Amino acid sequence: MKALRYLIPLAIFGLLVAFFAVGLTRDPRQVPSPLVDKPAPAFKLAQLHEPQSVFTPEDMKGKVWLLNVWASWCVSCRIEHPLLVELAKQRVVPIVGLNYKDKREDGTQWLKKFGDPYALSAYDIDGRVGIDYGVYGAPETFVIDKQGVIRYKQIGPITPEALEKKILPLIRQLST
Amino acid sequence: MRALIFALALCVPGLAFGQAAEIAKPDAAVEARLKGLAEELRCLVCQNQTIADSNAPLALDLRNQIRQQIAAGRDDAQIRAYMVERYGDFVLYRPPFKATTAVLWLGPMLLIVIGAVVFLLVVRKRRGVSAPGAVAISDAQRAQLEALLEDAPLPPPEAKPPKRAKR
């Protein structure tokens, strides 16, 4: 009984430490998306480079592809951009850009300056498609499978680590 | 003429910044419903603000989105569902009760119950300690006790208090 007196506070302390140990390593900005494992929301948008052409996710049916939300005003997009350019060179997976709340001219200039990894970019001027995709912090990247289902969402820049450990293995698995 | 051009030029930046604005022609009933809804929805950009409070561009877009949906005749539950579909339960300041939120809802109550149980146990234990020590005495015994206390010699004078250490 006497031992219990000391063991209970110790146990509570241990529990708190465990909660903090897990909680402090998590990023509160990473809100799990309810869209994962759901069909990618449909949309129809003009393309960034060719305003007369339309893009819809339907066009990508039968392919595993990435949808990357970016904007010329988005600072973090520049951080991940070299990684995307590199990935595009390897031709592992088609990357479609969603140019989010940007000016057409700024967007095209930005791609000219930093390289264009995108098969094409859809031009979401008012951010409506962004809302449908639950975008709240560009850049965001969605891995979409052959059936058009979202299988993974990266919030914030793609890190080399996330690419190697999550995105590439998932693409390989979905492609087979 | 030159002054006019200069004045016009000064307006240009104002125009450029003017684009991020609330939708025009506010309607009191719509605004009231918007306020009610927006105060219950979290802005995911700033996380600790509602989309009613936040000035983040996303919060502005979402407010306009809600306005459009109100205008389109959707009810509050539908609009809330629209937000949850896209951003998850985290957007709701009052999340629904389900398996993943059970700890959130029940945790505080559980802590109160644990606290109450511990409190009662301690109180009961204390009572158990003092009860056997207390002995019922008769009036005669009480009188005798008082007499004894009256007669008791003064306690011996205390030893000199130790010198205070200089601070």
A78, A71 contact by CB (below 8 A): no
ipTM > 0.95 for the complex: no
Give the residue with greater pLDDT, B130 vs B99.
Answer: B99
Give the residue with greater pLDDT, B18 vs B107.
Answer: B107
Residues of B with Cβ-Cβ distance to A2 under 8 angstroms: none
Residue B16 is predicted with a pLDDT of 42
CATH architecture of B14-96: Orthogonal Bundle (1.10)
Residue B132 is predicted with a pLDDT of 56
Residue B165 is predicted with a pLDDT of 58
Mean pLDDT across the stretch B12-19? Answer: 43
With a threshold of 0.80, does the pTM exceed it?
no
Closest to B88 (Cβ–Cβ): which among A28, A33, A126?
A33
Interface test with A, best of B86, B103, B104 (most A CBs within 10 A): B86
Residues of A with Cβ-Cβ distance to B87 under 8 angstroms: 31, 33-34, 134, 136
| φ/ψ (deg, to 5) at B41 | -115, 135
**Out of 3.40.50.150, 3.40.50.1360, 3.40.30.10, 3.40.190.10, which CATH number does the structure's domain A31-175 have?**
3.40.30.10
Contacting A residues, span 130-149, partner chain B, CB-CB under 8 Å: 131-134, 136-137
Query: Which one of B15-19, B22-26, B96-100, B107-111 scores highest in mean pLDDT?
Result: B107-111
Residue B137 is predicted with a pLDDT of 78
Contacting A residues, span 27-86, partner chain B, CB-CB under 8 Å: 28-29, 31-35
Statement: residue B5 has pLDDT above 70: no
Residue A11 is predicted with a pLDDT of 93
Statement: residue B57 has pLDDT above 80: yes
Whether B61 and A126 lie within 8 Å, measured CB to CB: yes
Mean pLDDT across the stretch B116-128? Answer: 87
Task: Please name the residues in contact with B30: beta carbons below 8 A apart, sequence gap of 6 or more.
Answer: B67, B70, B71
Residue B155 is predicted with a pLDDT of 63
Residue B88 is predicted with a pLDDT of 85
DSSP string across B1-66: -HHHHHHHHHHHHHHHHTTS---SS--HHHHHHHHHHHTTBB-TTTSSSBTTT--SHHHHHHHHHH
- With CA atoms as reference, the chain B residue closest to A133 would be B86
Residue B15 is predicted with a pLDDT of 42
Q: How far is B167 from chain A (nearest CA, A)?
A: 37
- With CA atoms as reference, the chain A residue closest to B81 would be A34
Whether B45 and A134 lie within 8 Å, measured CB to CB: no
Residue B156 is predicted with a pLDDT of 63
Residues of A with Cβ-Cβ distance to B90 under 8 angstroms: 31
The pairing of strands A95-100 and A65-70 is parallel
Q: Where are the domains of chain A?
A: 31-175
Q: What pLDDT band is residue B18 in, cutting at 50, 70 and 90? A: very low
Whether A34 and B45 lie within 8 Å, measured CB to CB: no
Per-residue pLDDT of chain A in tens (176 residues, 90 and over written 9): 678 888 888 999 999 999 999 988 887 777 778 888 889 899 999 998 888 898 999 888 888 999 999 999 999 999 999 999 999 988 889 999 999 998 888 999 999 999 899 999 999 988 889 999 988 888 999 999 999 999 999 988 999 998 899 899 999 998 88
Residues of B with Cβ-Cβ distance to A35 under 8 angstroms: 86
